[in-house]
Structure formats: C-alpha cells, structure tokens
Amino acid sequence: MTEFLQLLVAGVSLGAVYALLALGFVVVFKATGVVNFAHPALLVTGAYATARLTSTYQWNFWLALPVGIGGAILLALGIQRFLVYPMAAQAVTAITIMTLGADLVVRTEVTREMGAVDLLAVIDPWGNHVIRLGGVVLPVTRLVALVAGIVLITAFFVWFKLSTWGIAMRAVAEDPETAALMGIRRSRVAALAWMLAGGLAAVAGLFLIVFPTPGFSSTTYVAAIVAFPAAILGGLDSTGGAIVGGLVVGLSVTLAQGYAHQLNFLGDNFYEVMPYVVMVLVLLVRPAGLFGTRELHRV
C-alpha cells in the first residue's frame, strides 16, 4: 500500500509539472491558433540558463531563476515577433512547421553551449531534502513544484477570467475578427500568450532538472514532448483540459513505471508510450479531447 501511495504522490507531483507545460502550450494555441512545436526549446532554454548560471557562474539561485525564466520569455517573444507574426497571413500548418524549425535551431545551439559536459547540475536551495508523511517520501522539490503549480495555475485562471488582458485573450480566442473590431490588438495578445508560454515552460523546466533528476542533460527536452499528448487529451483549446491532461499523463506514466513487472505482457518500458496510448483512447471517444470544443466547419 505504501508503494502505491508513494507512486501516487510522485505521479501527481510530476503531473503538476506536466500541467504547467501543457498549459503554456494551450495558451498559445488558444490565443493564436498556432501549434507551438518550439515549446521544448523554451523549456530547454530556461532550464539550461538557470543551470548554467548557478553552477558555472555561481550566481545566487534566486537571481539566476528570474534570469532563466526571463531568457525563455525573451526567446518566446522573439519567436513570436520575428517569425510567427510576419507569417500571420500564412496557413497555420506552415507556421506550425516553422516552429519545428525554430525548435531544432534553438535546441542545437543549447546542446552546443553545453560543450564537453554531459550533465549540468542546478544549485537550488532545496537540494535532495525530503519530507516524510506516514510511509511516503516526498521530495521537497516536488512539493515546491506542486505548490508553485497550484499558485501559478490559480493566478493564471483568475487573471484569465477577470483581468482586462485575460478577457482580451479569451475574446481573441473566441472570435478574432470581432475582437479586432472592438479594438483589441491581436499582436499584443499573441505576444502576451507567447511570453506566458515561455515563462510556464521555464518554470516547468526548472522542476525537471532539480531532484530527483541530477541536472540538465541532453535528454531533458524529451520530457517536454510529453506536453503534446497531455494538451491534446485535455483538449487543445481548453486551459482546464491542459491541467487535467498533465495530471493524467504524470500519474499514468509513474504508475506504469512502478508496476512495470505487472505490465510486462505489454512489452518492456511500456511506460514510454503510455501518454500516447491514453491520448489515442481519449481521442477515440472524444475526438477533440476531454474538454475541447468540436470544430465547426464552414462550407
């Protein structure tokens, strides 16, 4: 029973990180209609910057973190302003593919910057401390991730529902033409959406390179790819769906790893395809994701 509880806790805390990732992805889609394949690049930039600043240059963590997040936000803004915005008239597929190219370039550059080092540790204040609740061990970093996730997500939803910019973004997502007629600048809203995505990705990235992971490495970006099925299964245009999707993916992957012996008949390392299997199962029942809106088609 302890084992199950332990896996549950680990899964939910991982799910919170994935939820942040998926949320950033969905925000961009809702506001601009673009599927942002450069999301892994945003995650990697933020995580790498923080790791590099704290370990090689020995900055204070609380100084390095905002700079790292800022770097990801700047990158996101750069991509939006110089690459996506000029292509606003093009088909969304083209823009999506272009973000793939941008992702490739950024990730290659970060790998190059890593240099002859295979692992870059982050000097964070929580280290490998844990708290024990009953028989269950929860790393402090994961607790912080949960709390940060809850805070950020709540703040985001409050802002989304109540603030002027949030309403503007929802307006643009719902009916861009009318929103434009009402004086909402699409480019501003788009820029804001991308900046949000950058920030959320960077925060998620931080939690993917602290304990229980030893640091930033060449496989860190792989975790970001999980954001895609998480966002899809929740519904690509639903911010609530993104949270649910992230949690579902985090939980299912952790449980699949923990019960790998029992799941042996599905092949070794089945947990690697778990997000996609869950996603396909959901899509078969609800083709637009759990909370997504079904597309209406104009003749």
Partner 1 sequence: MSWLTTPPTARQFSRVAVVGLLAVGLAAAGCTKKTDSPGAGGKLAAGPGVTDTTIKLGVLTDLSGPYAPLEKAVAQGRALYWEKQNNTVCNRTVEFVTKDHGYKVPDATAAYAAVKSDVLALAELLGSPEIAALKSDINSDQMLTGALSWSSANIDNPYIVIPGTTYDADMINGVQWLMDKKGIVKGDKIGHIYVEGEFGENGRAGSKVAAAAAGLELKEYKIGATATDLTAQITTAKADGVKALLITTTPAQAGSAVGVAVAQGLEVPIVASGPSFSGTLLTGAAKAAVEKNMYITTSIAAFSSPGAGTAAVKAALTAKFGADLAKSQYGLLGYAQAQIMHTILDTACKNKDLTRAGLLKAFQSLTEVKTDGVLPTLDYSKIGGIPARSSYILKPNSATEGGLDQIADLFTSPTAITYTPKK
Partner 2 sequence: MSDTRLRPWYFTVAGLALLLLIPLNKDSFYDQFNLYFPLTTQTFWLQLGLYAMAMVVAALGLNLLLGQAGQLSLGHSFFVMVGAFTYVVLAGAEKNTSTIHWVGLSWPPLLAAICAVLMAGVCGLLFAPVAARLRGIYLGIASLGLVFVGRHLLLNVWPEFSGGSNGRDVPRFELFGLKFVTAPDPSERLYLGNVALGREELLWYVFLLVVIGAFVYYRNLVKGRPGRALRAVRDRELMAGIIGVPVARYKGYAFLISSMYAGLGGVLYALAAPSRVSVDEFGFILSVELLAMVVIGGLGSARGAVFGAVFVWCLKPVLNQYAEAGSIPFLAKPGGSGLEPGVAATFIYGAALVVLLLIEPGGAAAVGRRLVRTVRRAPAGPAPNNTPNQ
Running DSSP on this structure, what letter comes out for residue 79?
Answer: I
Nearer to partner 1, 194 or 271 (CB): 271
Tell which one of 63, 127, 178, 280 touches partner 1 (CB under 8 A).
127
Q: Which of residues 128-147 bind partner 1 (CB under 8 A)?
A: 128, 130, 137, 139
295 binds partner 2 (CB under 8 A): yes
Going residue by residue from 189 to 228, which x/- string records binding to partner 2, judged by CB under 8 A?
------------------------------------x--x
3-state SS assignment for residue 50: helix
Q: Could you give the string, one character per residue 193-232, with x where binding to partner 1 holds by CB under 8 A and - elsewhere?
A: ---------------x-xxxxxx-xxxx-xx---------
Does residue 269 bind partner 1 (CB under 8 A)?
Answer: yes
Specify the amino acid at residue 131.
I
Q: Which residue has the tokens 């295979």?
A: 118
Query: Quick one: which of 1, 57, 112, 132 contacts partner 2 (CB under 8 A)?
Result: 112
Q: HSE (CB half, 13 Å, CA atoms) of 4?
A: 1
Question: Which string of b and e fits 94-120 if b means at least 16 CB within 10 Å?
Answer: ebbebbeebbeebbeebeeebeeeeeb
Smallest distance, partner 1 to C-beta of residue 110, A: 13
Instruction: Work out which of 121, 263, 277, 288 binds partner 1, going by CB under 8 A.
Output: 121
Q: For residue 210, how far is the Cα from the chain centroid? A: 16
The 12-41 contact track toward partner 1, x by CB under 8 A, reads --x---------------------------
Applying CB under 8 A, does 263 fall inside the site for partner 1?
Answer: no
Q: What are phi and psi of 295, to 5 degrees?
A: -70, 140
Q: Does 289 bind partner 2 (CB under 8 A)?
A: yes
For the chain, give the number of residues.
299
Is the Cβ–Cβ distance between 194 and 78 less than 8 Å?
A: no
Binder among 1, 58, 86, 115 for partner 2 (CB under 8 A): 86
Q: Which does 139 bind (CB under 5 to 8 A by kind): partner 1, partner 2, none?
A: partner 1
Contact 12, 252 (CB under 8 A): no
The separation between the first and the last C-alpha atoms of the chain, rounded to the nearest angstrom, is 56
Quick check: 246 and 16 in contact, CB under 8 A?
yes
260 binds, among partner 2, partner 1, none (CB under 5 to 8 A by kind): partner 1
Question: Which residues are CB-neighbours of 291 under 8 A, at least 6 positions away?
Answer: 234, 235, 238, 240, 241, 244
Question: Per CB under 8 A, does 128 bind partner 2?
Answer: no
Q: How far is the CB of 63 from partner 2 (least distance, A)?
A: 30
177 CB burial (10 A radius; 0-12, 13-18, 19+): exposed
Question: Which among 171, 292, 277 has a CA at the least distance from the CA of 226?
Answer: 277
120 binds partner 2 (CB under 8 A): no
Q: Which residues bind partner 2 (CB under 8 A)?
A: 35, 83, 86-87, 90-98, 100-105, 108-109, 111-112, 225, 228-229, 232, 236, 266-270, 272-273, 276-277, 279-280, 283-284, 287-289, 295, 297-299
